Amino acid sequence: MDLQICTELDDPLQMLPPPSGTFVDRDELIQHVGDFAVSQGYVVTIKQSKRDRVVILGCDRGGVYRNRQKHIDESSSEHSRRKKTGSRLTNCPFEAVGKKDDGLWVLTIKNGTHNHEPLKDISEHPSARRFSEREVLLIKEMTESGLKPRQILKRLRQSNPDLLSTPKHVYNVKAKLRQGNVAVRNFKSLSTQKSFVRNNYSAVTEPSWRQCNPQRVPNLIGGRFVDSQSFTSIDVLNPATQQVVSQVPLTTNEEFKAAVFSAKRAFPLWRNTPITTRQRIMFKFQELIRRDIDKLAMCITSEHGKALKDAYGDVLRGLEVVEHACGLATLQMGEFVSNVTNGVDSYSIREPLGVCAGICPFDFPAMIPLWMFPIAVTCGNTFILKPSEKDPGASVMLAELATEAGLPNGVLNIVHGTDDILNAISDDDDIKAISFVGPNAAGAYIYSRALATGKRIQSNVGAKNHAVVLPDASMDATLNALVAAGFGAAGQKCMALSTVVFVGGISL
């Protein structure tokens, strides 16, 4: 952790408004505002909502009432009306507005000021005492089993030791359940407790994008696989049958910005996650890759055209990098030299950069993405992956497995496209580093364009191989090696053999 962040943590709460941004859906926008508000010492509530168009969020002071005791000489009806008005919550001018625009939710801050002090202890706010939706369902089940409120509360605290609710709150939930209100809302105010590692992966229900025929490849933004709003798409063809395997929509500029914003928002929490926690996710990730290696290999063969044996090799070479990421703890250690000169110590520390991006070619659909994001995220960065538009299926499958392994929302994002997305990645100021693998011309272009915005760039281009045959070479071994090197992976790889150099006379 650098010095600047340490200083920020020690500063008093400033009740700053959440940063504006673009979100995939309404729930993600609300979660963003709620989480940020808690970090600043206030709690927000939904003031007004038209679910498919707009949501207005305000500050919930948590039961601070006006105290307006006035002598009333008017009629009883006027007295009743004034009494009701005087009991309303004290209004705070803070207001955040989320509107749906072109398929995405855009957050704007209408008024970012407050007229009260920050909450010193968020747990004292009434919203901290409300049950989650899961806990309400458990209360319903335990009530039907005949358990008393104190017994229910004791069992709930076994799974949530920080639960602040009392038996009275359990009684209130039971009363609502008896009235038939089974769909009890978990919060009127947004939750004040943040869940760090959220796993949205569902192994039971097939996602909607997989149910299309042909499949429409989704973006991954903020931990959710979402269909692009773009009307332009590219067909992915099976080279063996020329059938359309899937369609790749070209990610819109708004969706790209949402992906970058999601990665930027996830970075502060992810960089402060212990390296051992990040390693455990990689251990689980490599286990899941081994579990689904058959599916990955089949996907690569159907989209790329290489033989199934080559496709297995593609995955296994990438898996070696994931295994390397499992042991990154020692490689992240800095250096320290004491007394390099009188009264001077020298030390260095390794820190994550922030949002990084990877641009992949089509020749190794699994190996090259696995070169990039496992190392980057294990080091504490967040990542934007742009797979090849010719065979993106393996990258999406790997992202699903990474999510199942426990990678938090926003740490890994996927966008699709061609020149426009490459330019957007190169120009975006929030992206700090780019890793590129591909042809010479494209690599030189991205290198020069990204360098102009001060990014760190890793550009792997060219990579044609040559074979050198010596006079004492075995004929059978040489021919087998030349055929495999020149025509393996259907000849579609950057390292395909293009030149053979014979040394001395030919004695094969």
Q: Rounded to an integer, what distance in angstroms lies between the CA atom of residue 349 and that of residue 346? A: 11
Region of poorest pLDDT, from 27-36, 228-237, 364-373: 27-36
The answer to whether the beta carbons of residues 486 and 456 sit under 8 Å apart is no
Domain boundaries, the chain: 1-125, 131-186, 208-461, 465-502
User: What is the Cα–Cα distance from 4 to 233, expressed in whole angstroms?
Assistant: 44
Which of the two residues, 242 and 131, has the higher pLDDT score?
A: 242
Verify whether residue 494 is a known catalytic residue: yes
Choose between 317 and 11: higher pLDDT: 317
Task: Please give the residue that has the higher pLDDT: either 178 or 183.
Answer: 178
pLDDT of 89 higher than 50: no
Predicted confidence (pLDDT) per residue in 399-425, tens digit = 999 999 989 989 999 999 999 999 999
Q: Give the pLDDT score at 179.
A: 67
Question: Is there a contact between 250 and 228 (Cβ–Cβ < 8 Å)?
Answer: yes
Q: Please, are residues 383 and 401 in contact by the beta-carbon 8 Å criterion?
A: no
Q: Which residue has the higher pLDDT, 360 or 199?
A: 360
Reply yes or no on domain 208-461 having CATH 3.40.605.10: yes
Cα gap 339→167, rounded to integer Å: 62
Token pair recorded at residue 184 = 């009890």
The closest alpha carbon to 482, from 507, 470, 500, belongs to: 500
Look at residue 101 in the predicted model and tell me its pLDDT: 79
Query: Looking at residues 177-206, what average pLDDT do you find?
Result: 44
- DSSP character at residue 389: T
Rounded Cα distance between 502 and 508, Å, is: 11
Give the Cα separation of 92 and 478 in Å (integer): 79
91-126 pLDDT, tens digit per residue, is: 788 999 998 877 778 888 988 888 888 877 666 666
Q: What residues have CB less than 8 Å from 331, skipping those under 6 apart? A: none
Residue 33 has pLDDT above 80, yes or no: yes
CA angle 81, 83, 87 (to 5 degrees): 120
Tell me the pLDDT of the chain averaged across its residues.
81
Closest listed residue to residue 166, CA positions, set 178, 156, 175:
156
Tell me the pLDDT band of 381, cut-offs 50, 70 and 90.
Answer: very high
Per DSSP, helices labelled H in 387-474 are: 393-405, 419-427, 440-451
275-319 confidence digits (pLDDT tens): 999 999 999 999 999 999 999 999 999 999 888 998 999 999 999
pLDDT at 365 over 60: yes
- Amino acid found at 205: T
490 vs 110, higher pLDDT:
110
Task: Specify burial of residue 303 (Cβ count, 10 A radius: 0-12, 13-18, 19+).
Answer: buried
pLDDT score of 224: 87
What pLDDT score was predicted for residue 2? 38
pLDDT surpasses 70 at 5: no
Q: CB neighbours of 307 closer than 8 A, spacing ≥ 6?
A: 301, 489, 490
The bridge status of strand 233-237 relative to strand 244-249 is: antiparallel
Beta bridge partners of residue 233, listed in sequence order:
249
Closest CA to 281 of 326, 318, 317, 225: 326
Position 6 scores a pLDDT of 38
Taking residue 155's Cβ as centre, other Cβ atoms within 10 Å add up to 13
Counting Cβ atoms within 10 Å, is residue 82 exposed (0-12), middle (13-18) or buried (19+)? middle
Q: Which two tokens stand for residue 405?
A: 């392994």
Model confidence at 83: pLDDT above 60: no
Residue 84: pLDDT over 80 = no
Residue 359 pLDDT grade (very low, low, confident, very high; cuts 50, 70, 90): very high
Tell me how far the alpha carbon of residue 475 is from its chain's centroid.
52
When pLDDT is averaged across residues 337-355 and rounded to a whole number, the result is 91
Q: What confidence category does residue 210 fall into, taking pLDDT thresholds of 50, 70 and 90?
A: low
412 forms beta bridges with 383
pLDDT of residue 366: 95
Radius of gyration of the chain (CA): 29
What is the pLDDT at residue 73? 53
More confident residue, 300 or 178: 300
The residues facing 271 across adjacent strands are none
Task: Identify which of 141, 428, 130, 381 has the alpha carbon closest to the alpha carbon of residue 273.
Answer: 381
CA 440 from chain center: how many Å? 31
Bigger pLDDT: 79 or 184? Answer: 79
Distance CA 382, CA 372 (A): 11
pLDDT of residue 312: 93
| Banded model confidence at residue 457, pLDDT cuts 50, 70, 90 | very high
Confidence at residue 66, expressed as pLDDT on a 0 to 100 scale: 43
Helix, strand, coil share of the chain (percent; to 5) = 40, 20, 40
Q: Using CA atoms, how far apart are residues 191 and 27, in angstroms rounded to an integer?
A: 12
Which amino acid, one-letter code, is at 267? F
CA dihedral of 102, 106, 111, 112, whole degrees rounded to 10: -170
ω into residue 214 within 30 of 0, thus cis? yes
pLDDT at position 201 is: 35
- Give residue 287's pLDDT: 95
pLDDT band at residue 12 under the 50/70/90 scheme: low
Contacts of the segment 287-292: beta carbons below 8 A, 24+ positions apart = 287/405, 288/401, 288/404, 288/405, 289/315, 289/318, 289/319, 289/322, 289/398, 289/401, 290/319, 292/397, 292/401
Element spanning 486, H or E:
helix 475-487
Residue bearing tokens 């742009």:
386
Angle at 460 between CA 457 and CA 464, to 5 degrees: 165
**pLDDT of 204 over the 50 cut:** no
